[in-house]
Amino acid sequence: MTPGRIGIVAVAAYALSSVPARSATIQVVIDKLVFAPTEVTAKIGDTVEWVNKDALAHTATATNGDWNAVLAPRQTGRVVLKKAGAVDYFCKYHPNMKGRVVVTP
Amino acid sequence: MIARLSAGAFALCLLSVPAFAQGAKPTDPQIAHIAYTAGQLDIEAAKQALAKSKDKEVRSFAQDMVRDHTEVNKQALALVKKLNVKPEDNDTSRALTKQAAAKRAELAKLNGSAFDKAYVANEVAYHKTVNGALESTLIPSANNGELKSLLQTGLKLFQGHEQHAEHVAADLK
């Protein structure tokens, strides 16, 4: 990566997410026992942030065991993505709640 | 198996038939009472499990039931207050309550893994029955939009609990 390209990426990331790094934060909202959007795409190093609007506790639990975010009522939880691949996840308390994170390198 | 099937069919009848079979749809005050009662009964079942079970997964499931149903019933009470609806007792609520009391008495005689399996199997069956009633009778009959919406969320919640209970049941085998 040339110095010029690093500069562009850094500026772009800063402008888009206000996180002073290359990583982005992708938000998933939980409302009335639904993950929305159901599927998100992210890059390695990005963070997925689940905003739980329900008064109920939920989890975002990867079916492959890679990560597990416990989401207390009306709280937010985060996971930093470390591996590429498509990961299905669900809520341990309400397994009919399902979502998917597609992580690209 | 036949006995089991007819017991299941009987439970469904108890829940959906007595008050409303003759084309009389439940009213909003009755629907509110049934939904609230269904939640309270599951809390009572969970409290029995917490008093009797030593299984970590069963206890954690029971705690989830207490937490979720307490919260949803809190929302239900807030809604009926806002709408100025007075929940009205009815044959379906009474049948549910009677049936749950019989089940609690039956489970009280069991201990250890026999209790755990019977409690979780009943949780699967109970949530299935309530889901059927919500889908076929309570949601379509609800007049008020906010009540209907709360019932729809309740259905998703009960469906989630049913699947959760199925997972726990599979783990107990």
Rg of chain B over all Cα atoms, to the nearest angstrom: 16
How many pairs of residues across A and B have Cβ atoms under 8 Å apart?
A: 42
User: Which chain A residue lies closest to B74 (C-alpha atoms)?
Assistant: A55
Q: Work out whether the CA dihedral B18, B19, B22, B26 comes out positive or negative.
A: negative
Q: Do B163 and A73 count as a contact with CB atoms less than 8 A apart?
A: no
* pLDDT band (50, 70, 90) for residue B35: very high
The answer, yes or no, to whether residue B8 has pLDDT greater than 50, is no
* pLDDT band (50, 70, 90) for residue B24: confident
- This prediction has a pTM of 0.82
Minimal CA–CA distance to A95: which of B136, B125, B43, B158?
Answer: B158
Task: Check residue A16 and give its pLDDT.
Answer: 53
Task: Check residue A62 and give its pLDDT.
Answer: 97
Minimal CA–CA distance to B71: which of A58, A18, A63?
Answer: A58
Measured in degrees and rounded to the nearest 5, phi and psi for residue A71 equal -115, 100
Show the tokens assigned to B32.
């509110």
Q: Do B64 and A93 count as a contact with CB atoms less than 8 A apart?
A: yes
Give how far Cα B33 sits from Cα of A43, B18, B150, B164, Å: 49, 15, 13, 25
Mean pLDDT for the stretch of residues B7-13? 45
Interface predicted TM-score of the whole assembly (ipTM), two decimals: 0.82
Task: Check residue B4 and give its pLDDT.
Answer: 47
| Angle separating helix axes B112-133 and B145-172, nearest 10 degrees | 150
Contact residues, chain A, for B71 at CB < 8 Å: 55-56, 73
Task: Check residue B3 and give its pLDDT.
Answer: 47
List pLDDT tens digits, range A54-101. Answer: 999 999 999 999 999 999 999 999 999 999 999 999 999 999 999 999
Spell out the residues 6+ positions from residue B123 whose beta carbon is closer than 8 angstroms to its own.
B42, B45, B61, B65, B161, B162, B165, B168
List pLDDT tens digits, range B94-137. Answer: 999 999 999 999 999 999 999 999 999 999 999 999 999 999 99
The gap between the terminal CA atoms of chain A, to the nearest Å, is: 15
Mean pLDDT for the stretch of residues A28-55? 97
Nearest to B157 among A33, A73, A92 (CB): A33
List pLDDT tens digits, range B61-91. Answer: 999 999 999 999 999 999 999 999 999 999 9
Task: Check residue A56 and give its pLDDT.
Answer: 96
Q: Do B156 and A96 count as a contact with CB atoms less than 8 A apart?
A: yes
Rg of chain A over all Cα atoms, to the nearest angstrom: 15
Q: What is the mean pLDDT of chain B?
A: 89
Q: Do A93 and B71 count as a contact with CB atoms less than 8 A apart?
A: no
* pLDDT band (50, 70, 90) for residue A14: low
The answer, yes or no, to whether residue A7 has pLDDT greater than 80, is no
